[in-house]
Amino acid sequence: MGGNLSAVVGVVSLVTALTAALLAVLRLRARRGIATATQRATYEVLHTAGLAAEPLRAGLSAAGATKAVRHLRALVGAVGLALTDADEVLALDGRGTHHGEQLLAAAQRSVVTGRSTVLGESDLHCDRVDCPIRGAVVAPLHGADARVVGALVAIADSAPAPGLVQATLETAHWAGNQLALAELDSSRERLARAEVRALRAQISPHFIYNALTAIGSFVRTDPERARELILEFAEFTRYSFRAHGEFTTLAEELRSIDRYLTIERARFGDRLQVRLQIAPEVLPVTLPFLCLQPLVENAVRHGLSRKPGTGMVSIEARDAGAECHITVEDDGVGMDPTTLTAGIAELARGTGDPGDDQGQHVGLSNVDERLRSVFGDRFGLVVETGLGSGTRVSMRVPKFHPGVRAGS
């Protein structure tokens, strides 16, 4: 699902960029006085559509409808225009306010049937002798999965002409696409939050048990060290279970990893060696929250804990122009690349068992999907491993990416 959502968002970004470019060209030509009437009309339509799109992309709500309805009325060319959901008129601009109940009833029928309808003067009877309203066009708004989420109602001061009917239908179709994209954006955010929760669930039980066991071993023999480890453990869990923010900085992630490794070194002693090589200029780089820590945990838990003698975990972050290149490497037991590939594929199909043996697959698969979902398919993980040869996991992170900032 993450890949599909990423593709949709990518297409939307491309369309938005092309529209912005076209608007810029038309604006420049207009300033130079060489724009034709057609070009000026195109500019006006695109500009108005852009003004309506922004609030609609936040979803169908009273606040968004209030901001969008004036621009939608300009697109349709009606004397009045209303936006409704299945229960109420969210906003109405122009004439026809006193017909609100009749318009809502017609909109609700359209939501139920999924069909557009044209209302005549007999459908909008009124006791006001000076009432200018003579008809309306009601068109359903289709959100994601073709669900009808509301209706767009264009109000007319004469019998609705074919031009008004067509303009209303096309505008409703366009507005529905904006609402569908809003739902997809929301689904993407929920997916990202769900993946973080799943990752926390995969990491936390194992680490918490091992951490408390390690701390407990120092309570009597070295109370001061036990106290220090408890404080490190508290800070680590505070960061890991923070309630907000899909993204963090590399500096924050490394700070949390340092606390994790401090506790693991208390458990493994001299068996666990750590080497850090971090370029200072990449510390502010933004990356998905809990994106690096699972790779380090996998290196310790699956690579070194099963290796006799001393083991080394190396973490490197290099400046690579527009990107930051990060690697986590261990000289542990490694694994068969075929087994790793098959395990990740099974999890992707939903047929794998995310137990202890496949915990490595879960962590790698989760991080890989999140990187691709946020930055695109070119930015997935690269895993190099072999039996007895350790494991090296690499990732590329853009230094700047639209919509990605720490704490968001």
Which amino acid type is present at position 387? Answer: L
Strand blocks (E) in 45-199: 80-84, 89-94, 117-119, 135-142, 148-156
Number of CB atoms found within 10 A of residue 40's CB: 13
Q: What CA–CA distance (Å, rounded) separates 361 from 101?
A: 57
46 and 169 Cβ atoms separated by less than 8 Å: no
The yes-or-no verdict on residue 14 having pLDDT over 50 is no
Residues of CATH 3.30.450.40 domain(s) within the chain?
40-198
The answer to whether residues 214 and 266 touch, using CB atoms and an 8 Å cutoff, is yes
**In the chain, % of residues over pLDDT 90:** 29
Mean pLDDT of 237-247: 73
Query: Among candidates 108, 139, 106, which has minimal Cα distance to 123?
Result: 106
pLDDT digits (tens, 9 = 90+) for 128-140: 888 989 999 999 9
Coil, strand or helix: which one is 305? coil
- Percent of the chain at pLDDT > 70 equals 77
- Top-confidence residue, 23 or 127: 127
- 292 versus 373: the higher-pLDDT residue is 292
Predicted structure pTM score: 0.53
* pLDDT recorded at residue 80: 93
As annotated, the residues of the chain forming the CATH 3.30.565.10 domain(s) are: 246-253+266-398
Confidence of residue 240 (pLDDT cuts 50, 70, 90): confident
Class at the top of the CATH hierarchy for domain 40-198: alpha beta
- Strand-strand pairing, 247-249 and 135-142: unpaired
Residue 9 has pLDDT above 60, yes or no: no
pLDDT at 326: 96
Q: Is the pLDDT of residue 151 over 80?
A: yes
26-35, 82-91, 297-306: which range is least confident on average? 26-35
Strand spans (E) along 211-271: 247-249
Q: What is the DSSP letter of 379?
A: G
Amino acid sitting at position 33: G
Question: Is the separation of the CB atoms in 78 and 154 below 8 Å?
Answer: yes
In this predicted structure, which of 117-121, 167-171, 305-309 has the lowest mean pLDDT? 305-309
Q: What is the mean pLDDT of the chain?
A: 80
Q: What is the mean pLDDT of residues 330-344?
A: 75
| CATH superfamily, region 246-253+266-398 | Histidine kinase-like ATPase, C-terminal domain (3.30.565.10)
Q: What is the pLDDT of residues 260-275, one digit of tens each?
A: 899 888 888 888 999 9
The residues, any chain, with a CB within 8 Å of residue 269's CB and separated by 6 or more, are none
| Banded pLDDT at 251 (limits 50, 70, 90) | very high
What's the whole-number mean pLDDT along residues 36-56?
A: 76
